[in-house]
Amino acid sequence: MTGHVWITGAGSGIGEALALAMAEQGWRVMATGRRFEPLAALARRHDAISPWPLDVTDCDAVSSVVSRMPAPDMAILCAGTHAPTPAGSFDAADVRTLVETNLMGTVHCVAALLPGMLERGRGRLVLVASVAGYRGLPTAAGYCAGKAGVIALAESLRLDLAGSGIDIRLVNPGFVDTPLTRKNPFPMPDIISAETAAAAILDGLGHPGFEIAFPRRFAFAMRLLRLMPDRLYFPLIRRITG
């Protein structure tokens, strides 16, 4: 399958790696991100990539860009950010920034795309969340809350759109080497490159199913934690994280 694909958060990390990989596969890639310079540099690396500067937290701007770009056959919604939100210095503005980008940015894109896809009776929406959305983690209340919201959003859309011709997929990465994760002051288990993450996503999209989670060992461990009773989960995480 090829055609037009819209990739958000394409200025760096997983989005950038996906844009290059999909352009190599023959897709026409509309790459969006907040900053024009990284998008322009990306477009210079492959003539199938076109730069579209966009802040996904601006609902009106998202609608405007979607109305002007070629109708996407697929959208991979990667735009996201991260910052610690520890309870000792908990700040509503920090959480709002995370939720506005990680959850509402995805919502804005879905809202802009769905009418056209429903009218055409086809399309694929790929929502990128995180295994951090499975359960709450220390110092990450804002990030975990936003990513948990994306997971629930994808699950609900999958139910609502069954039989519509629109395929909803959920991507839950573990630690991926990106400019954001390089700021983490702690060891990141099973960390993989953005290129490896992009390959895992594309491989998953080539098969039926709903969730694409990777790397496999770390994602499996996080799923087990999701199922663990609270009386075991909280002491275990406190012990692991100190």
- pLDDT, one tens digit per residue, over 190-209 is 889 999 999 999 999 999 99
With tokens 């011709």, the residue in question is: 165
Is 186's pLDDT higher than 70?
no
Residue-wise over 63-80: b if at least 16 C-beta within 10 A, else e?
eebbeeeeebbbbbbbbb
Query: Average pLDDT, whole number, for the chain?
Result: 95
* Main-chain phi, psi angles of 180, to 5 degrees: -70, -50
Q: Which long-range contacts (CB under 8 A, 24 or more apart) does 58-61 make?
A: 58/108, 59/108, 59/111
Neighbour tally for 52: CB within 10 Å = 19
Distance of alpha carbon 227 from alpha carbon 238, whole angstroms? 17
- CATH number of the domain that residue 237 is part of: 3.40.50.720
* Total-model pTM: 0.95
Q: What is the pLDDT of residue 185?
A: 64
Q: Is 143 a catalytic residue?
A: yes
State how far Cα 76 lies from the chain centre.
7
Is 183's pLDDT higher than 90?
no
* Region 71-76 average pLDDT: 98
The residues pairing with 126 across neighbouring beta strands, listed in sequence order, are 76, 169
- Whether 79 and 15 have beta carbons less than 8 Å apart is answered as yes
Domain containing 51 equals: 4-241
pLDDT grade for 118, boundaries at 50, 70 and 90: very high
- Whether 223 and 174 have beta carbons less than 8 Å apart is answered as no
State the total domains in the chain: 1
The residues pairing with 171 across neighbouring beta strands, listed in sequence order, are 128, 212
**Catalytic-role residue among 6, 52, 143, 218:** 143
- Residue 76 to residues 109, 128, 154, 201, 205: CA-CA distances in angstroms? 10, 7, 12, 10, 11
Neighbour tally for 19: CB within 10 Å = 32
